[in-house]
Amino acid sequence: MKIFYKLMLLLVVLCVSLSVACTKDSPKVEEVSTELEVTLDKREITIDGNGGQVDIGYTILNGINGIDIVAEADVTWIEDIHTLDSHLYFTVLKNLTNKSREATVAVRYPNYSMQTIKITQSASDALTFVFEICDIKTTSCTTKLFPSDEDTPYIVYMAEKDYLLASQITNERELFEDDYNTYTSWAAEYDVTNIEQFLYLNQIAFVGETNVTWTGMVPDREYVLYAYAIEFNEDGSDYTLASAVSHEIVVLPTNVFSDIEFDVDITVDGPKATYEFTPLNWDGKYYIEIFAEGDYMYLDKGETPDEEYCKQVANSWIGLINLYMQSGYSAEYLLDVMCLEGPDSYSEERLSDTEYCMIFYGIEMVDGLPQVTTKPYVTHFRTEEVEASDMTIEFKVENCYVRVADITITPSSDEPYVATFLCKSDIPYTNNDEIIRWLLGYDLSGNTYRGTIESNIVGLEPNTEYVALAFGYYGGVVTTELFTYEFKTDEEGECENDVLGVNITGPYSLTALEAAEPDDFYNYGMFEPMGWYAMCAEIETEVEEGNVFMNIYNASELVTAGMEAIKADVCAYVSPRNCLFTGENDKLYIVCAVAMDYKGNYSEMWVSEPFSYSFDNGTRDINELLGKLGYEVETQSAARSSIDLRLKM
């Protein structure tokens, strides 16, 4: 045992000796850091007003394999931020203002504190503007622009603030892009490649001091007058934004509203109201509006129109007038046909048992636009309640064939009623009360009648079940039960009529047509400078009696739409035998025609050869066209029948 302990002791001593020897003879090793570190070569950058690309080197020690830094700017004028080969790149856009600016680029890496790079960009010598607004009227104003440089081109425009808001234009870049897309699309429409020349010729772009008169404006509406410099490329085919957008809010004054008075007598019989009125202190034009209780324009009894209400009335009128003027009607024409003058009277049907306020206001031509110039004169009336009726309604269907039928509807009294017909399969309900509620979801104003009506229906589907429906309806109240009558069309057969040909003549002057018959062709002449003309198509069929269908199409639609779709469109409306069409100079057209026999069978569709007309060859005598048209003028969209019973769905 002693020997064993001695051996163990000797072993321990040897181990200690060896350990000491090894420690004494080993070389020194430096300590290695494993801590994450991200280093940027630069933390502050100064760049001139022209901008450009910035390159910043960086290193990542003890990072995560495959993970790179992420950088983000706090402004929109720094873009295209990316990394490549341990370098951070981004582009600073040109400073379009005459003030220096600063920004911050934040650099992030997982599990490491965010670092920032401060960017300072100096000011540029970009164009600035001074606006002067003069000659201010209710519908127009003149702006004088004084740019800081006489040789730099710029664009100036006056836009409605509501347009900018509706288009979600919130900054200079979006405004420029909206303008750019508009102007370049206009140039492309006219095959213009030199955008520089296009902008100057159309007075969109200017240089130096400029006076611009803006017309067609609306009083008491906010507009934004703005201008910005642009820079064209060498060949004038494109341009870029070259300055900040200078802008100013413009609001034209409204009229001073005078007082107006009327002597008004209103007689009520159920929902029917009869108005007799005479202006007392007004010898000009005036307009009438009626609002039901609950309408936002309704005024309670005893409530006096305040300034805000007067402006609402004036703005509502201007909005209505502008819609018609955009359709080509002149201000003078609208003033004449829309307004009343002197004593007058009329009757109309209103809703049952409803309170109304009736307002009268004077209209005068101010600065070339019919405008409200008086406070509204207000009066009130209430309609009487409509009660249930014992009226009955009978149907008679005759000459019902493939696509045609004669329908006679006879009520037992002279009370108003709604009448229509539908495919039986299109009616989603079988219960009469539910059917009435469903029909009331549509506009029934065009389907309301009194007394007996007779209608020749054209355009039914072959071999189809139909239902004629009618019910008493007065003042928005259903007064009777639902009356119905079912009928079915025949199967399609061979047509006993055919199109022999269509004689097409033209071009005729739209200006001359309007001059000859201004009531029927009002404003047709305005389209002639845009390259439009009139033509006439005269159809010849095997059987002179019977319905015919004609329409005109771009020749390319034979390919894009196809024969089947075109025939369906042609047969949508009955045409006169002599059709007035309009076309555009040098464009290729086709005329398509279909004949119908007395049973409603369609013939094969006749298609003309593609043709075009050119003003270069002159126009034909307008009296020739008037003679061809009758002169009981009917246009290409003639009514399908004397009374159209179809529901406007």
Residue 576: the pLDDT is 93
Residue 640: the pLDDT is 30
Residue 127: the pLDDT is 79
pLDDT at 308 over 60: yes
Whether residue 326 is found in the same domain as residue 399: no
Q: Report the DSSP beta bridge partners of residue 145.
A: 131, 210
pTM of the model: 0.66
Q: How far is CA 147 from CA 128, 210, 243, in A?
A: 6, 9, 11
Residue 193: the pLDDT is 87
Whether residue 135 is found in the same domain as residue 170: yes
The torsion angles phi and psi of 230, rounded to 5 degrees, stand at -130, 160
The answer to the question of residue 32 being in a domain is no
The answer to the question of residue 243 being in a domain is yes
Residue 632: the pLDDT is 52
Whether residue 61 is found in the same domain as residue 107: yes
Which 8-state DSSP code applies to residue 414?
Answer: S
Tell me the CA end-to-end span of the chain in Å, nearest whole number: 117
Residue 69: the pLDDT is 93
> How many whole angstroms separate alpha carbon 311 and alpha carbon 305?
10
Whether residue 163 is found in the same domain as residue 56: no
The answer to the question of residue 22 being in a domain is no
CATH number at 404 reads 2.60.40.10
The answer to the question of residue 81 being in a domain is yes
Q: Which residues contact 96 (CB under 8 A, 6 or more apart)?
A: 124, 126, 172, 228, 229, 241, 242, 243, 244
pLDDT at 529 over 80: yes
Band of pLDDT at residue 429, cut at 50, 70 and 90 = very high
Residue 103: the pLDDT is 94
Whether residue 613 is found in the same domain as residue 518: yes
Q: CA 58, 60, 62: angle at the middle one, nearest 5?
A: 170
Q: Which of 293, 283, 263 is nearest to 275 (CA)?
A: 263
Residue 1 CA, chain-centre distance (Å), reads 111
> How many whole angstroms separate alpha carbon 285 and alpha carbon 362?
6
The answer to the question of residue 202 being in a domain is yes
Residue 635: the pLDDT is 41
pLDDT at 259 over 70: yes
Query: Among residues of the chain, what percentage have pLDDT more than 70?
Result: 92
> How many whole angstroms separate alpha carbon 243 and alpha carbon 204?
16
* Beta-carbon count within 10 A of 564 CB: 9
Q: Which of 481, 507, 514, 598 is nearest to 548 (CA)?
A: 598
Residue 21: the pLDDT is 40
Whether residue 302 is found in the same domain as residue 212: no
Tokens representing 155 are 């664009």
CATH number at 566 reads 2.60.40
DSSP H helical ranges for 107-204: 161-166, 172-189, 195-201
The answer to the question of residue 350 being in a domain is yes
Out of 104, 121, 138, pick the residue that ends a domain: 121
Query: Among residues of the chain, what percentage have pLDDT more than 90?
Result: 75
Whether residue 133 is found in the same domain as residue 115: no
Residue 32: the pLDDT is 53
pLDDT at 642 over 50: no
Q: What is the mean pLDDT of residues 317-336?
A: 88
337-379 pLDDT, tens digit each: 999 999 999 999 999 999 999 999 999 999 989 999 999 999 9
Which 8-state DSSP code applies to residue 596?
Answer: B
The answer to the question of residue 640 being in a domain is no
Averaged confidence pLDDT in the chain: 89
Residue 225: the pLDDT is 96
What's the chain's Rg over C-alpha atoms?
A: 40
Whether residue 182 is found in the same domain as residue 247: yes
> How many whole angstroms separate alpha carbon 432 and alpha carbon 499?
44
Number of alpha carbons in the 13 Å side-chain half-sphere of residue 291: 16
Kindly provide the b/e burial profile for residues 211-248, where b requires at least 16 CB atoms within 10 angstroms of the residue's own CB: ebebeebbbebebbbbbbbbebeeeeeebebbbbbbbe
Q: How far is CA 586 from CA 508, 514, 529, in A?
A: 14, 22, 14
Residue 239 CA, chain-centre distance (Å), reads 28
29-77 pLDDT, tens digit each: 445 557 899 999 999 999 988 889 999 999 999 988 889 999 999 998 8
Band of pLDDT at residue 503, cut at 50, 70 and 90 = very high
Q: Which of 484, 532, 541, 497 is nearest to 511 (CA)?
A: 532
1-10 pLDDT, tens digit each: 434 434 343 4
Tokens representing 43 are 């933390």
Contacts 24+ apart (CB under 8 A), 113-118: 115/38, 115/40, 115/43, 116/43, 117/40, 117/42, 117/43, 117/44, 117/45, 117/56, 118/43, 118/44, 118/45
3-state secondary structure of 356: strand
Q: What is the mean pLDDT of residues 152-179?
A: 94
* Inter-residue contact 90 to 69 (CB < 8 Å): no
Number of domain units in the chain:
5
Whether residue 531 is found in the same domain as residue 608: yes
Residue 328: the pLDDT is 78
Residue 523: the pLDDT is 82
Range of the domain at 87: 37-121
Out of 79, 101, 121, pick the residue that ends a domain: 121
Whether residue 321 is found in the same domain as residue 422: no
Band of pLDDT at residue 473, cut at 50, 70 and 90 = very high
Out of 457, 488, 519, pick the residue that ends a domain: 488
587-605 pLDDT, tens digit each: 999 999 999 999 999 999 9
| 261 or 149: which leads in pLDDT | 261
One-character DSSP codes across 181-210: HHHHHHHHHTT---HHHHHHHTTSEE-SSE
Band of pLDDT at residue 189, cut at 50, 70 and 90 = confident
Tokens representing 208 are 């130096």
Whether residue 209 is found in the same domain as residue 267: no
Beta strands 154-160 and 222-232: pairing type? antiparallel
The answer to the question of residue 5 being in a domain is no
Q: Which residues contact 71 (CB under 8 A, 6 or more apart)?
A: 81, 83, 88, 90, 105, 106, 107, 108
Tokens representing 398 are 């005759």
Whether residue 207 is found in the same domain as residue 226: yes
The amino acid sitting at 503 is N
Q: How far is CA 556 from CA 44, 528, 609, in A?
A: 62, 23, 12
